[in-house]
Amino acid sequence: MKFSKWQGCGNDFVIVDFLDHEPVDFAVLAREMCDRHFGVGADGLMAACPSETADVRMREFNPDGTEPEMCGNGIRCFSRWLYEEGYVTKEEFTVETLAGTMVPRVIVQDGTVSAVAVDMGVPVLEGERIPVAGFGTERVVAQPITVAGKEYAMTCVSMGNPHCVIFVDDAEGFPLEQLGAQFEHHAAFPNRINTEFVEVRDRRHARMRVWERGAGITLACGTGTCATLTAGVLNDVLDREAAIEVDGGVIHVAWREDGHIVMTGPAERVFTGDWPGVR
């Protein structure tokens, strides 16, 4: 089976084509291919599948085999792959995901894709829809949460997948390795959660580190940057457009007046190859 490995700000993915093939057990395939010692190595597996409602369907799987609703860096990589492989010929097209239909746009300069912008839709803010236990239809903005005996202020957002944003004084020094999993599995989050630890540098620039649900520490999280901007606006510490610096680079995010979040960032091919055992 042919595959292609891509990365967006260091968040890396294996992409496979199942547009004309029968689906396989993607959870098993993801665990095998994403393994960094015995497989290709990646933060996720993405499969291109037929769609009845969009130009193509994207299914994504974490290294542990779970299927998240959405991945921002992943959809940028997936979109450029679709465009460069000729599966789509338009610069703007639609992709079906578990989080709904996304609208990517490849940005072409001098005949080369320089970046990918994605309309990520409207952020979900009601606690019960993220979900966060005990909040009903209320927003979860600067609410207390206790982890490892310390109280933090959390702001929670869904970008199709759940996020908890914690503003900190020093993102680089935050003990992500020790506390990330405790946030992910906290009782407040029935479906577990992605957690962003964010240091605001100024109103148009923030430093973000992330613990991703099902993947652990990653170099970037596209939906996490969208959640970070949303949380920053709700807490009046960020403007509606800002550069979010992650471990692997910078992603630009804008919260438009129509309520939609647009994320713009890089997507680069790393290599292609053949995976044995799947035809």
**Same domain? 167 vs 248:** yes
In this model, does residue 139 exceed pLDDT 90? yes
What CATH number does residue 210 fall under?
A: 3.10.310.10
Question: Helices 72-84 & 222-234, crossing angle to 10 degrees?
Answer: 130
In this model, does residue 234 exceed pLDDT 90? yes
**Same domain? 108 vs 185:** no
Domain count, the chain: 2
Residue 13 lies in a domain: yes
The whole-number pLDDT of residue 279 equals 59
Residues designated as active site = 71, 221
Span 143-152, mean pLDDT?
99
Tens digits of residue pLDDT in 41-87:
999 999 999 999 999 999 999 999 999 999 999 999 999 999 999 99
Residue 221 lies in a domain: yes
Domain carrying residue 85: 2-120+265-274
How far apart CA 41 and CA 134 sit, in angstroms, is 38
